[in-house]
Structure 1
Amino acid sequence: MTDQAHSLSLPRWKEPSILPGFGVGVGLTLTYLGLIVVLPLAALAIRPWELGLSGVWHELAAPRVTAALKLSFGLSALAALLNAPLGLLIAWTLVRYQFPGRRILDALVDLPFALPTAVAGIALSAIYAPNGPLGSIAAKVGIKTAYSPLGIFIALVFIGLPFVVRSLQPVMQDLDAEVEEAAQTLGATTLQRVIRVVLPALAPALISGVSLAFARAVGEYGSVVFIAGNLPMKTEIAPLLIVIKLEQYDYAGAAAVGLAMVAISFTALVAINAVQTWFAGRGRA
């Protein structure tokens, strides 16, 4: 059997590669994922069952835990959805237009990445507090920003926006403007060009950015804890509840809440990835 025929008879993962070190690379990858991802998640999955099945259910069904999970996931989803049009608009402006201060604006997008979360929380609290510059204006019309679910929502929008912008920018830069010009030549209106030409090309990147923003918002602690008010059943987020249980040496209860967060987050991300794959398939078709 010739080398070519032998290569064709091998499974795809056993085919020879022009790049050396496949075995070492796979080994290091699996070791890294095992130690950094799988092992901690396995420990998190095992620890709550010290309470037994009824104990875990009782822990998760507690009104305080249920309220914290609803608040965290509900506001995270809303913040990610709001960041979709905001991130799309900002990325479009930065990519398609040249104007004075564009580089400064582009750098400001990354500020939530570089800023420590505690500093961001203190800054947001100072701005949106009842005596702050924006909070006082909102208070005059009867809107409470800081120390309310609205304050948490603002913080989650703040920390999630860069993920959407940075996911969209490379795709927009590679988007051929001639396709839009061709659609315009064929008589398409501006709205039709956006809906039928631009958005289908950007949809996978947009969904990816939204999912990253959602995942970051769900686990956010530092920037939220200062502006939330932390009232049980009202403005207490799930990560804070985990910290409180740890301080009370309720490690199994904290692990149960953490396991619930992992399960809900994983389910949501699987659904988002399925939608992203569907959009990508439509784009190739």
Structure 2
Amino acid sequence: MSKRRWRVSPLPGFGPTMGFTLLYVSLIVLIPLSAIFIKTIGLGWSDFWNVVTEPRVVASYRLSLLTSLAAAGINVVFGVLVAWVLVRYHFPGKKLMDGLVDLPFALPTAIAGIALTSLYTPNGWLGKWLDPFGIDVAYTPIGITVALTFIGLPFVVRTVQPVLQTLNKEVEEAASSLGATPAQTFFRVILPELLPAVVTGFVLAFSRALGEYGSVVFISGNMPFKTEIAPLIIMTKLEQFDYEGAAAVAFVMLLLSFILLILINGFQTHWENRRSKWRGVH
């Protein structure tokens, strides 16, 4: 078996730049995350298990996971659609629409939460039209999903958009000339190229939604076992000076995010290897 050799870059400065990179990542990411782990260890296994399996905490996990999955799924559908329109069509106001996609990045999440709550309360601009049909958005899981959809859309659009821009349109034209319908061209030619970016956008939107607090705390109503999300549980424990309990719940959320990152990296590696083999055969 041949041993892998390090590829030496022709550009100088690998050592210093790698050193600064590791230092920066350690200070900004690794050390703060390790502090959560160390704080959690102070509880002991039995106390840790009692905290993270408390019925109220488990209900918050379930709500956060389900609403985050729903919001990320919605964002995948409409995020790909928005990215497609922005890349493939030219129309008046295109640059304005492109800029509006990034608005959730720039807007403080608390302001977004207040705005959404005022819109969807029974006497709000949109809520008053839904109320006669018995549709309650504010202070329900639906409202939480709406808020998480709002903050997660840019992650899908900005992940898919560059890939769409680099796609070779001649392949689509060739598929069309061979008799493929628009639907067949999209699902058999375009979608396989977009799939890694779509999955990445989904995971980014899901991870962002999983830890969202500011935009959700206003529209959720914060009712235990009904609309109380996991980040709110953490904030409640911090306000009660239960730092170990807050760290335990945060550790579980961190573990979920870490598992997601591993899964998406594994999927991307598998998909790239599969595409490379297919290209090698053909």
Q: 2:234 pairs with 242, 246, 255, which one?
A: 242
* Shift in Å, 1:221: 0.8
For 1:258, the equivalent position in structure 2 comes to: 250
Runs of 4+ in 1 over 4 A off after TM superposition: none
Q: Which digits, 9 at most, give the CA deviation of each residue in 1:240-273, with x for residues without a partner? A: 1101100100000000000000111111232233
What residue identity is the alignment partner of 2:188? R
For 2:64, the equivalent position in structure 1 comes to: 72
* Shift in Å, 1:10: 10
| Structure-2 separation of matches of 1:93 and 1:283 | 27
Q: Which digits, 9 at most, give the CA deviation of each residue in 1:210-250, with x for residues without a partner? A: 11111111111111111110011111111111011001000
| Structure-1 separation of matches of 2:106 and 2:211 | 17
Given that 1:200 and 1:279 are in contact with CA atoms closer than 8 Å, whether structure 2 keeps it comes out as no
Q: CA RMSD in A?
A: 1.5
For 1:129, the equivalent position in structure 2 comes to: 121
For 1:279, the equivalent position in structure 2 comes to: 271
For 1:220, the equivalent position in structure 2 comes to: 212
Q: 1:148 pairs with 131, 134, 140, which one?
A: 140
Alignment pair present for 1:193 and 2:182? no
* Shift in Å, 1:274: 2.3
Given that 1:84 and 1:206 are in contact with CA atoms closer than 8 Å, whether structure 2 keeps it comes out as yes
* Shift in Å, 1:160: 0.3
| Structure-2 separation of matches of 1:12 and 1:281 | 20
Output aligned runs, 1:156-171, within 5 Å.
Answer: 156-171=148-163
Structure 2 runs not aligned, ≥5 long: none
Structure 1 runs not aligned, ≥5 long: 1-8
For 2:165, the equivalent position in structure 1 comes to: 173
Identical counterparts, % of pairs: 56
| Structure-2 separation of matches of 1:191 and 1:16 | 45
| Structure-1 separation of matches of 2:203 and 2:16 | 32
* Shift in Å, 1:71: 0.9
TM-score, normalised by the number of residues in structure 2:
0.94
For 1:3, the equivalent position in structure 2 comes to: none
| Structure-2 separation of matches of 1:280 and 1:104 | 35
How many residues were matched structurally?
A: 276
Could you tell which deviates more after superposition, 248-257 or 95-104? Answer: 95-104
Alignment pair present for 1:54 and 2:34? no
* Shift in Å, 1:177: 0.9
